[in-house]
Every structure is written in structure tokens, then in C-alpha cells.
Amino acid sequence: MQFSGKGHPLSGDGMDAVCEMLGTGEPEIWAVLKVETRGFGYLADRRPLILFERHIFHRLTGGKFSAAHPDISNRKPGGYKGLAAEYPRLEKAMELDREAALKSASWGLGQIMGFNHEVAGYGSAEEMVAAFVGSEDAQLAGVGKFISKNAKCLNGIKRRDWGSFAACYNGPDFRKNHYDTRLAAAFATYRQMLPDIGLRAAQAALTYVGIDPGPVDGLPGRRTTGALTDFQEKAGLPEHGILDEDTWDKLKAAAF
């Protein structure tokens, strides 16, 4: 399947590197990821989460496809399908102009637009997408570089000035979707409890092997415990629903 790779989940090293890059803490970073993608950068089939923006495709291609294909090339934003249903829209655009199509979608954990590939540290949208297919560490590094190269974004997140950050990262219409207030609420939550990176990686792996653990959020719960128990049963392990070393070794081997 195109755009489906290993889909390695975020590591502690990946998070630490971006916190150091931005001079901020984990709660600020997790707040952005929560609002952008509910905190996980992949679909269950390991393709990065995307959103295809038809008005960007219209702009990048001079509108030459808009009359025949208004669903994917249009002066006005819209036509969103969400989640996996965004990929047929992208693929249709790629048949017309691959480069413009890749630049017209937002990708991964922080939904970095393809046309921002240089700011995110890549020579082309194609190169950025290939990296984002591989790991959330790459996705988060792209987010970090994007924020670090925009003074308004950087100052906003460091000062926890969510309105200023939202205007930079989400655009001037951020209040329409309450982007700033959702950031503030997510930050308040993460100040109390951070995701467990190891548990989150296990939740991602369970998702990849077809066992639903609920949200990939790094938080313990009945659905995750049940999913771990199901996997342990299939793997011939003691069925206690705890992510111990044997369970993780078998789960990692099965998923990656």
C-alpha cells in the first residue's frame, strides 16, 4: 500500500530532542499533538494521518484542474472526508500533479503541510513524506523544526500564549474551531499526567496487529488491558493484561 511503512511510534529520545530544540516541556508538545491528531500520527494501516486541502492544490496548480475536478481542486476549502478517506482524494490529485498533491496535504502528528517541507528540514515534499511514513520521531522532529523557525510560534509555545501560538500554527481563523482553548485544556490535562511512551508504543503495536486497544494515548485503561490480554492469549503468554518484558518483546516482533 502506498505511503504505508513501519510506522514506528514516538520514542522517548524523539520527544526529548524536540523539547530540547524548543526549550519547552512535554506538556506543551503533547497539547499540540492532541489538538492536531488526537495524539497519534498513523492510521491502523500505518499510513500517516493526512488532510488534503483542495484550495492549496488549486493555488499550486494555477486552478487548471478546478473546472473538471472541483472536489480536489477548488478556490474554496472543503470536501474533507477524514481519516483513511482522505487518501483517495490525495491519490486522485497525484494522478494530475504528484508534487502539487503532496504539497497540498498536511501530514503526521503535527499535520505539517507538504509545502512547508523546507521549514521542516527536507529538500522536497516527497522526502518529507517518506520520512514521516517511517516514524513518529521524524514527524515530531518536523514539527519542532517548523516551530523553531517561526518566532511567533516559538515564543507562543514557550510562554504558553495559546492564542499567539494558534494564530501562527493554525492560522488567523483559529477561533472558529476553538483551537486556542483546546490547546489550553489539553495542556492543563498533560500537566497532571503525561503519556507513558512505552505503553503508547504497545498500543500502536496492538493497533497494527489488529487488536483494538482504544486510543493510542499512552494512558492505561480497560480497553488497553483487554487488548494486551487478547494478544497474550494468542502469543501463548500468561494472560494478565500487563505490559511486561515478554509481552513487549513478542508484540514488537509481531508489529515491527
Mean of pLDDT values over 148-159: 97
Verify that 124 and 203 share a domain, yes or no.
no
Percentage of the residues of the chain whose pLDDT score is greater than 90: 100
Which residue in the block uniquely carries the three cell numbers 516514524? 135
HSE, side-chain direction, 13 A CA sphere, residue 183: 25
Distance CA 118, CA 115 (A): 8
Domain finish residue from 192, 208, 227:
192
Of 255, 142, 140, 246, nearest in space to 201 by CA:
255
Domain finish residue from 138, 167, 192:
192
Domain finish residue from 141, 166, 192:
192
Distance CA 177, CA 60 (A): 26
Q: Is the pLDDT of residue 8 over 90?
A: yes
Which residue in the block uniquely carries the three cell numbers 492549496? 56
CATH code assigned at 241: 1.10.101
Which pTM value belongs to this model? 0.96
Mean pLDDT (the chain) is: 97
Q: Is the pLDDT of residue 218 over 90?
A: yes
Q: Is the pLDDT of residue 1 over 90?
A: no
Give residue 91's pLDDT: 98
Verify that 115 and 182 share a domain, yes or no.
yes
Verify that 127 and 244 share a domain, yes or no.
no
Verify that 122 and 161 share a domain, yes or no.
yes
Verify that 134 and 44 share a domain, yes or no.
yes
Q: Is the pLDDT of residue 10 over 90?
A: yes
Verify that 204 and 149 share a domain, yes or no.
no
Percentage of the residues of the chain whose pLDDT score is greater than 70: 100
Verify that 31 and 117 share a domain, yes or no.
yes
Verify that 188 and 237 share a domain, yes or no.
no
Verify that 134 and 166 share a domain, yes or no.
yes
Q: What is the pLDDT of residues 111-145, one digit of tens each?
A: 999 999 999 999 999 999 999 999 999 999 999 99
Distance CA 28, CA 224 (A): 25
Residue 217 in contact with residue 39, Cβ under 8 Å? yes
> Is the torsion defined by CA of 130, 106, 120, 185 positive or negative?
negative
Distance CA 142, CA 144 (A): 5
Identify whether 142 is part of a domain.
Answer: yes
Confidence of residue 82 (pLDDT cuts 50, 70, 90): very high
The domain in which residue 26 lies consists of: 12-49+108-192
Residue 166 C-alpha cell reads as: 494558534
What value does the CA radius of gyration of the chain take, rounded to a whole number of Å? Answer: 19
Q: Is the pLDDT of residue 21 over 90?
A: yes
Q: What is the pLDDT of residues 154-210, one digit of tens each?
A: 999 999 999 999 999 999 999 999 999 999 999 999 999 999 999 999 999 999 999
**How many distinct structural domains can be found in the chain?**
2
Residue 208 in contact with residue 255, Cβ under 8 Å? yes
Verify that 149 and 251 share a domain, yes or no.
no
Verify that 32 and 145 share a domain, yes or no.
yes
Verify that 146 and 204 share a domain, yes or no.
no
